């Protein structure tokens, strides 16, 4: 199991993107030939010129065939104080300690949305949009529209919590969490307040030691 999350010894930044997490562990092994496509290894973020948040997620080896099948990259957004759901979206088995209001599932260029039952006014607002799928670099980039968040009641002084995971059909296969949910009864513990990280943190965080 992952033992801890430690701060990186130095900061990492590339093209303005600040590295949030470096994950040195593996993903849940399904042995279907696509485990590397579900293995999250890096999470970076930055503000664009309009103060929207860009998030870049890197997997070990991106393969379109994995995401044409049942695999997906999932983003959970928690930006309101007293709303949301603790059960995972898209019928994924599991739960989280940060109640999300809206979630997005990405499969190549296809993006699906699910909103919590008590925040139906969020539906179809396109808070998160897909910006790029870079197969060569094994990276997926999305944009979070902070103006739309504010229109829906988010106060930028309040943390914008983001949880990122991969899944195959209804099973969690990886996330930027400690312990890993597949080693913790499919329960996600902890979420990064990305707006606070971009404002205050100069160093990223490392998760565990990569398995052989």
Domains annotated for the chain, with CATH where assigned, are 5-207 (2.60.40)
- State the Cα–Cα distance between residues 85 and 98, nearest whole angstrom: 8
Q: How many CA atoms lie within 13 A of 9 on its CB side?
A: 0
pLDDT(182) > 80: yes
pLDDT(2) > 50: no
pLDDT tens column, 75-86: 999 999 888 999
pLDDT(167) > 90: yes
What pLDDT shows up at residue 111? Answer: 97
pLDDT tens column, 10-35: 778 888 999 999 998 999 999 999 99
């Amino acid at each position: 199991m992952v033992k801890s999350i430690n701060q990186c010894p130095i900061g990492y930044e590339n093209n303005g993107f600040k590295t949030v997490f470096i994950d040195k562990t593996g993903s849940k092994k399904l042995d279907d030939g696509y485990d590397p496509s579900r293995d999250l290894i890096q999470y970076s973020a930055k503000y664009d010129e309009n103060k929207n948040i860009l998030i870049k997620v890197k997997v070990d080896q991106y393969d379109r065939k994995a995401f044409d099948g049942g695999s997906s990259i999932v983003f959970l957004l928690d930006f309101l104080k007293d709303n949301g759901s603790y059960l995972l979206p898209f019928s994924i088995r599991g739960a989280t300690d940060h109640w999300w209001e809206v979630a997005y599932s990405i499969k190549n260029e296809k993006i699906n949305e699910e909103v919590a039952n008590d925040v139906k006014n969020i539906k179809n607002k396109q808070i998160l949009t897909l910006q790029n799928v870079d197969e060569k670099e094994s990276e997926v980039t999305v944009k979070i529209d902070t103006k739309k968040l504010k229109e829906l009641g988010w106060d930028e002084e309040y943390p914008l919590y983001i949880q990122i995971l991969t899944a195959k059909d209804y099973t969690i296969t990886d996330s930027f969490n400690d312990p890993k949910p597949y080693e913790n009864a499919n329960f996600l513990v902890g979420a990064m307040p990305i707006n606070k990280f971009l404002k205050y943190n100069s160093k990223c965080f490392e998760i565990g030691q990569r398995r052989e």
